[in-house]
Structure formats: structure tokens, C-alpha cells
Structure 1
């Protein structure tokens, strides 16, 4: 996948390094040429100095054949302008923008540009870790409305069908790791001691899942 990242700060450089390590073609754009210094030595991706909403800069970075565009510069306005340029002018399939002011996030989402709000994300993560310490999400979708969590099942649930733990629209069992092997729970598969279960859960139902798993402890 070819990805253009606008903003080579800590977030942009870290994301670029991870994507390159996974085999993706990464092109970075930043107004400051010295921002290249945040990339690791020998970084194989391309770096372009210039504004992330400049068509000449974006075209030099190969935006005409780009699969994804991520705007993570320091300013909200520049992120949105560059993201809209990528989406509306160049029709890039996947466009994401980082927003520092969470009050703007919903406005931009209505424009069809998913946003990551640093403040909202941090508050949500801290809240989850305070109230659901043993159910720290491993993955989230959207703006954190849907989460993936893993937990070992308590003993009192042994022998019950795994599909029995599903709650329509709130909680669903999607995978079980048993004796070091992963399996997708078919109808009728029973929970066994030591099962490590992967749940997809609505963020609003995380407390319900925690209470369900902690029932044996009386917490």
C-alpha cells in the first residue's frame, strides 16, 4: 500500500517507521526539511519538503497513485485542508486527519473525513484504563465506539456455550485461544478452563462485560 503522511513530527515519523517495517511504500511531506531528522537512519521512504496542501508537492509525492493519506501536522486547519485536497481533488480511497480540537472533529466527519482527536482519544483511553483495568482495549474502531478486548474466562463460566456470552448490539465473542491454538467459536462450542477469549464490545457496554467477567469475584 502506498501511503502519504503529511507531518513528520513524532506521530508522523513513528507511523511512517511502522508502516515501512510492514512493507508499505511511505512518502512523507513536511514544511520543515529538518523534520527528516526524526526518521531513523536509512529510512527507505521518500521525504518531500513543502506544504501538505500544495498540489505540486503532493503530486511529486505520488498522490495520483496513493492508497491512503494521513494528515498529522501540528495545525488543525492545515490538516483539514490537505485532507480535503486528497479526498476531493485526488480521490484518495482512505483519508484520515488528526484534530487537536475535539470540537471540530464532528464537523469534519460530516465532510466524510474520519478524524483522530488527540484530546478525545487520550481522555477515552485514560477513562477506560481507570475503570476497566483488566479489559484494556487492544484495538478500537471509528472514534472508539467499538473495541476489541481479550480476557481469560473466570472458572464459573466453564462448560457454558461461548456463543451464550453474546449480547446483541453490545458484545460478541469472535475468537478463543485454547492451549496455545486459536479457533473461531462455532455454535455449541463450550468454554474450557484457561480459555483466552477475544470480545468485540461497544464502548458503552465495557462496564457490563467487566461486571459479567468479575461476577465470580463479587466485584
Structure 2
């Protein structure tokens, strides 16, 4: 597959190298020719100088035959404009844009452009390193408002229903990993020993949800 990358910062250069190792052809666009030094001597793809949202520049980079386009420059506006041009003008199937402002990410997702909101994503990665297993979120929506996380569950919840658990924690049980298999629970589903419970909740309530799940039902009453 041919992939066009807009932005030759650290992320763009690392993506280009990784894609070449996977035997994809790559073209990298950047308005600063000096940025291509990050690609290193082993890079064999195309280097195109110019603004990534310029149609002529994108054509030169092979956008018309590209199967994927990634906008990872340092500017939110440039990323989203170039991503929309790739999707709407050239019909590229797989398009993603890196966005620093999570509020903007929500808008762009509604426009059909998948985004990676850098700040919330980085925050989650740091929390996974700092906090005990099962506390940091496994996923957040682009705005950072909704978190999906595995919660440590007190053994007192074994034999209780998902409905009771949700009422006590204020979170919604998204799924349960049971004996290595994912289960989509109903409210009447009974929590079993060794279940790994994943819940969806608002970001501002994560600590309260974790505390409630770690408390036995008897203590919560």
C-alpha cells in the first residue's frame, strides 16, 4: 500500500520508517526541507517539499494512488485541512489526523475524520505507567470526556448482578472478560469470581467509580 504522511517531525519520521519496514511505499510531505533529515539514510521513500494541504503537492506525493494518509504536523488546522482534502477530494480510504486540542477533535470526528487527540492520549499513557493495574483508562473518546477502564472489583461483588454494580458505582458495565472471553452483559448478568470488569464513565468520575468498585456492596449500604 502507498501511504502519504504530512509532517516530518519525530512522529512522522518514525511512522515512515515503520511503514517501510512493513514493505509499504511511503511519501513524506513537509514545508521545511531540513525536516527530512529525521528520516535517516535508510529511508527510500519520496520526500516532497511544500504545504501538506496543497493539492499539487499531494498529487506529487502520490495521493491519487494512496491507500492511507496521515496528517501529523504540529498544526491542528493544517492537519485537519489536509485530512479533509485527502478524504473528500482524493477519496483516500484510511485517513487520520493528529489533533492537540481535544475540543476540536470532537468536531472533526463528527465530520468523519478519525483523530488522535495528543494530549488526552499522552495523559492516559502516563497514567498507565504511574497507577496500579486496572485503574488507568484503556480508552477515551477524542474529547477526553468518556473513559473506558478496567476496575478492580471487591470479591463481595461476586454473585451480585450488573444492575446492582452499576447503581452502586454510577458507571455502565461495557463488557466483562470471563475465562479469556469477552462477554456483553445484561443488567441481570451475575458477576463471577475472576471476572475482569470494564466500565464506561465520565472522566471526572473515574476516581469515584474505582473507589466504589473496590468497596464491598455491604460497605456501600
Q: Structure 1 unaligned runs (5+)?
A: none
Aligned to 1:7: 7
Q: Is the 8 A contact 2:176 2:195 kept in 1?
A: no
Aligned to 1:109: 108
Q: Secondary structure at the match of 2:137?
A: coil
Once the two structures are superposed, residues 142-192 of structure 1 have per-residue CA deviations (whole angstroms, 9 ceiling, x without a partner) of 22233331233221111223465457x9522313143xx223245565333
Aligned to 1:69: 69
Aligned to 2:173: 172
Q: Is the 8 A contact 1:13 1:38 kept in 2?
A: yes
- Whole-Å separation in 2 of the counterparts to 1:21 and 1:166: 46
- Whole-Å separation in 2 of the counterparts to 1:29 and 1:80: 15
- Whole-Å separation in 1 of the counterparts to 2:162 and 2:81: 47
Q: Is the 8 A contact 1:137 1:148 kept in 2?
A: yes
Aligned to 1:30: 30
Aligned to 2:183: 184
Q: Is the 8 A contact 1:153 1:193 kept in 2?
A: no
- Whole-Å separation in 2 of the counterparts to 1:78 and 1:144: 22
Alignment of 1:37-56 (within 5 A): 37-39=37-39, 42=42, 46-51=45-50, 52-56=52-56
Q: Is the 8 A contact 1:108 1:114 kept in 2?
A: no
Q: Is the 8 A contact 1:135 1:210 kept in 2?
A: yes
- Whole-Å separation in 1 of the counterparts to 2:75 and 2:126: 26
Aligned to 2:160: 160
Q: Secondary structure at the match of 2:175?
A: strand
TM-score calculated relative to the size of structure 1: 0.68
Q: Structure 2 unaligned runs (5+)?
A: none
TM-aligned CA distance change 1:190 to 1:80, over 3 Å: closer
Are residue 201 (structure 1) and residue 209 (structure 2) matched?
Answer: no
- Aligned positions, number: 212
Deviation at 1:88, TM superposition (A): 3.6
Q: Is the 8 A contact 2:148 2:199 kept in 1?
A: yes
- Whole-Å separation in 1 of the counterparts to 2:142 and 2:117: 11
Aligned to 2:144: 144
